[in-house]
Structure 1
Amino acid sequence: MSQTSVLQPNERRILRLEEVEAKSGFKRAHIYNLMKKRQFPQALRLGVRAVGWDSIEIDQWIDERVNNRA
């Protein structure tokens, strides 16, 4: 029997840079500039040369931007 996992909308997972770029609409340099200013969720260290972002934090950040628009 094979298992397929269906992600629930608010299921927590680690997003890599490519996914964060797609969700936010920003490129790497802008994401890192915002992180430096504490205006974007901080990356999690996954290994020596790997980082990722908490999907729930990214979704909350996007929701805040949508809710604060004029």
Structure 2
Amino acid sequence: MRQMKNDYPTLIRRPEVLKRCAFSSTTLHRLIHANDFPSPVQLSERSVAWVENEVDEWIVERIKRRKG
């Protein structure tokens, strides 16, 4: 995981979230509404982003849950 710059969380936009998680926009929305993925931060009326560390932690949890 990346360190926060200046002790502030880093925000990432939808294309980066989709790339990191390897799923579609539809799946992203479904998981958010099911409370199974971090909610985005509302930046403006039409703009959202995700806290990078929350997305990274979600990915790590999925890796830990896989059957080995």
TM-score by length of structure 2 reads 0.86
Cα distance in 2 for residues equivalent to 1:43 and 1:13: 12
Query: Which of residues 4, 14, 37 is equivalent to 2:11?
Result: 14
The structure 1 segments of at least 4 consecutive aligned residues displaced by more than 4 Å after TM superposition are: none
- After superposition, the C-alpha distances for 1:35-66 in whole angstroms (9 at most, x for unaligned) are 00000110110001000000000000000000
Superposed CA RMSD in Å reads 1.2
Q: Structure 2 unaligned runs (5+)?
A: none
- Match of 1:37? 34
Cα distance in 2 for residues equivalent to 1:9 and 1:54: 12
- Residue identity over aligned pairs, in percent, reads 29
- After superposition, the C-alpha distances for 1:13-36 in whole angstroms (9 at most, x for unaligned) are 101000000000011111011000
Higher-Rg member (1/2): 1
Higher strand fraction (1 or 2): 2
TM-score by length of structure 1 reads 0.84
Q: Structure 1 unaligned runs (5+)?
A: 1-7
Letter in 1 for 2:52: S
Aligned positions, number = 63
